[in-house]
Amino acid sequence: MLRKRREPKARKSIAEVLLRDIQGTAAEKLALFEKLKARGGFAGEDRAELLRVERILNLFTDKKRKKSASPAPLTTSLLQS
């Protein structure tokens, strides 16, 4: 009997992991991102995606600072753009 080959799982993007899979506020996620970036934790990653993730996190952090009411939850809808 032939075994079915397992297809490799699609690799998650940095944006998906930071925005969806890691808990915390946008400011905490931005601080983690900057710490990892400074330590070279994203070596070999796509530079354009790193800039996009940083821009998204800055956007959410700025919105939270401007709006002192309850913040909207971080969604992955921006990942599609």
Indicate the domain borders of the chain: 26-38+46-65
Q: Indicate the residue type of 56.
A: I
Question: Who has greater pLDDT, 48 or 77?
Answer: 48
Q: Judge whether 60 and 26 are in contact, CB under 8 Å.
A: yes
Q: Which residues have CB under 8 Å from 1's CB, separation 6+?
A: none
pLDDT tens per residue across span 16-69: 788 888 888 888 989 999 998 899 888 888 889 889 889 988 998 887 777 655
In angstroms, rounded to a whole number, what is the distance separating the alpha carbons of residues 18 and 60?
13
